[in-house]
Amino acid sequence: VLPSKVDDATKMIQLHERTQLALRKASDPTSTMKLIDIIQRLGIGYHFEEDVNGLLETFSELNFKEDLFTTALGFRLLRHNGYQISPNVFQKFTDHNGKFKESLSKDINGIQVLQALELPRHFRMERLEARRFIEEYSGESDQSSCLLELAKLDYNKVQSLHQAELTEITRWWKQLGLVDKLSFGRDRPLECYLWTVGLLPEPKYSDCRIELAKTIAILLVIDDIFDTYGTLDGLVLFTDAIQRWDLSAMEQLPQYMKVCYMALFNTTNEIGYKVLKDHGWNVIPHLKRTWIDMIEAFLVEAKWCNNGYVPNLEEYLENGVTTAGSYMALVHLFFLIGQGVTEETVGMMDPYPKLFSYSGRILRLWDDLGTATDEQERGDVASSIDCFMREKNLSSEEEGRKQVKRLIGGLWKELNGKLMDPKALPLPLIKTSFHMSRTAQVIYQHGDNNKFPSVDDCVESLFFTSIRF
């Protein structure tokens, strides 16, 4: 071990202890909330989960008689960390019309936190937000040098873990050799891995990220078979073979489909074995179902395209959530994470939970905003933008895009409402569903508006450029 690494490890232990002490000594709700907020925004909240959760428990019992700033910050922290809290805590700040009182216009800090509830942090990918905030916090006059140094050391350490995971995924992908045999297929292990870091930002989910990246890489190739290469007759055969989920079923397939079928079959069984070994559940039937559902939905789109059929918006979205891979990814993660898996919660996977549907629709809509132009040129099925333009008689694509973004805003409200659901799924799965919606925006918003960072920019920042001291 290099001396600098030993020094970094020792430093991190010392800084961790000092931060923990600061959390335990924080005296009043406002300063405690501000400290928790900074810790979480710097991306080091996972180190202090126990302390933070203990403090948040006490905040959830407050009757929020505080000023607007403390109330808004407390509301956001509790919501963000999965606590049930009603928006009614803001009633004392509103007039009889439900608008915030004039007198509050002087409470600049409170207004800023309220604005932040609407956007933009809520929509940012956690690791990218951590990097952005570390750089912003470095320039603040009242920064804590202890927190800042811990955040920088931690960011670079987690980045090294990401690089090791990426090496593992790239090696697996090369050995699988799928795109060697299917030259038309997308060869994007790096982008697949970016998705998994978005969905599972905490270092402890290393194995889950690696397994999920495998499923996304195979999904992209299957998507390409349906979108660009397969004939309709061939796609019907492929779907039939997947429905049967048996190696003998692939005998009827053309060679390139056999290779893909075997890759999917083996990878799913390997993930099933891992879950059985780690958590004791036989999940192959559940994993298999997500792939069958998705490939049946791909076939629906292929038939629409072949027949020149333009679905209505609801029909398109209902099918599009499935083809986006959201159900497949979230069900796989439910079992790979393994927390809160009981007979009751397994039963909640069929039919798929509303939580999955809302985040999946956001994913599908952002995908359309980012890729619709390219896909239209290829002659793919109509996107949600087209569906909106047709249903609402809109004259321009720009107006269609505005409507899609309004719909995304409404879906975020539905998603936030699921945090108040007493029959909630395990918290890690709820967080992952939210992360899916955020990651979709990060990955596709450059295609909608090139002033946003591209996928390559995100990859470079997250995985290859360390933070300097």
Asked if residue 469 is part of any domain, the answer here is: no
Residue 57 sits in the same domain as residue 186: no
Same-domain status, 306 and 447: yes
pTM: 0.91
Please indicate, yes or no, whether residues 226 and 186 belong to a single structural domain of this protein. yes
CATH for 298: 1.10.600.10
Residue 167 belongs to a domain = no
**pLDDT tens sequence across 204-258:** 999 999 999 999 999 999 999 999 999 999 999 999 999 999 999 999 999 999 9
Q: Distance between CA atoms of 336 and 313, rounded to whole angstroms?
A: 33
Amino acid letter for position 242: I
Same-domain check for residues 144 and 204: no
| Helices (H), ranges, 308-426 | 313-323, 326-337, 343-347, 354-378, 384-391, 397-417
Taking the C-alpha atoms of residue 194 and residue 463, their distance in angstroms, rounded to an integer, is 9
Q: Which tokens sit at 422?
A: 């007493």
Burial of 67 (0-12, 13-18, 19+ CB in 10 A): middle
> How many CB atoms are closer than 10 A to CB 444?
20
Q: Which residue has the tokens 């692939």?
A: 250
User: Could you give the percent of the chain with pLDDT greater than 90?
Assistant: 74
- Taking the CA atoms of residue 202, residue 203, residue 206 and residue 209 in that order, the dihedral angle to the nearest 10 degrees is 30
Retrieve residue 298's tokens.
């791909």
pLDDT at residue 264, as a whole number: 99
Q: Which amino acid is at 386?
A: D
Measured distance between the N- and C-terminal CA atoms of the chain, rounded to whole angstroms: 21
- 163-207 per-position pLDDT tens digit: 999 999 999 999 999 999 999 999 999 999 999 999 999 999 999
User: For the chain, what percent of residues have pLDDT higher than 70?
Assistant: 90
> What are the residues facing 94 on neighbouring strands?
100
Asked, for residue 230, whether it belongs to a domain, the answer is: yes
Say if residues 260 and 223 touch (Cβ distance below 8 Å): no
Q: How many domains is the chain built from?
A: 2
- DSSP H or E stretch at residue 440: helix 427-448
Category of 442 on φ-ψ map: left (φ > 0), alpha (ψ -120 to 50) or beta: alpha
CB-count burial class (<10 Å; 0-12, 13-18, 19+) for 434:
buried
pLDDT digits (tens, 9 = 90+) for 14-39: 999 999 999 999 888 889 999 999 99
Contacts of 295 (CB under 8 A, 6+ apart): 222, 238, 239, 242
Q: Is the pLDDT of residue 62 over 80?
A: no
Tell me the DSSP string of 194-206: HHHHHH--SGGGH
Distance between CA atoms of residues 55 and 315, nearest Å: 45
**Angle between helical axes of 284-307 and 255-279 (0-180°, round to 10):** 150
pLDDT greater than 60 at residue 113: no
**Which region holds residue 468: left if phi is over 0, alpha if psi is between -120 and 50, else beta?**
beta
186 shares a domain with 142: no
357 and 223 inside one domain: yes
Residues 205 and 143 in one domain: no
Q: How confident is the model at residue 108, as a pLDDT?
A: 56
Q: How far is 3 from 205, CA to CA, in rounded Å? A: 28
Write the DSSP symbol of residue 141.
Answer: T
Shared domain check, 236 and 141: no
Are residue 386 and residue 425 in the same domain, yes or no?
Answer: yes
Residue with tokens 């079959």: 265
* Residues sharing a CB contact under 8 Å with residue 327, sequence separation 6 or more, in sequence order: 290, 293, 294, 321, 352, 356, 360
Residues 6+ apart with CB under 8 A from 67: 107, 110
Backbone angles phi, psi at 94, to 5 degrees: -110, 155
Whole-angstrom Cα distance, residue 311 to residue 72?
42
- What span, in angstroms and rounded, lies between the C-alpha atoms of 138 and 148? 7
How many Å apart are CA 355 and CA 130, to the nearest integer? Answer: 25
Are 289 and 401 contained in the same domain? yes
- For 202, half-sphere exposure in the C-beta direction (CA atoms, 13 angstrom radius) is 13
| Residues of the domain holding 110 | 3-151
Tell me the sheet residues that pair with 100.
94
What does the DSSP assignment read for 42-67?
TT-GGGGHHHHHHHHHHHHT----S-
Position 138 pLDDT exceeds 90: yes
- pLDDT tens for 83-112 read 877 777 777 777 777 776 666 666 656 555
The 3-state DSSP class for residue 94 equals: strand
221, burial (CB in 10 Å: exposed 0-12, middle 13-18, buried 19+): buried
Contact 116, 37 (CB under 8 A): no
183 and 128 housed in the same domain? no
Q: Could you tell me if residue 218 is inside a domain? A: yes
Whether residues 250 and 392 share a domain: the answer is: yes
Confidence of residue 119 (pLDDT cuts 50, 70, 90): very low
CATH of the domain at 22: 1.50.10.130
How many angstroms separate the CA atoms of 194 and 345, rounded? 28
State yes or no: pLDDT of 5 exceeds 70: no
3 state DSSP class of 100: strand
C-alpha atoms less than 13 angstroms from C-alpha of 221 in its C-beta half-sphere: 27
CA-to-CA dists, residue 94 to 59, 60, 65, 99, angstroms: 22, 21, 14, 5
The answer to whether residue 165 sits within a structural domain is no
Q: Is residue 198 part of a domain?
A: yes
In a domain, 15, yes or no: yes
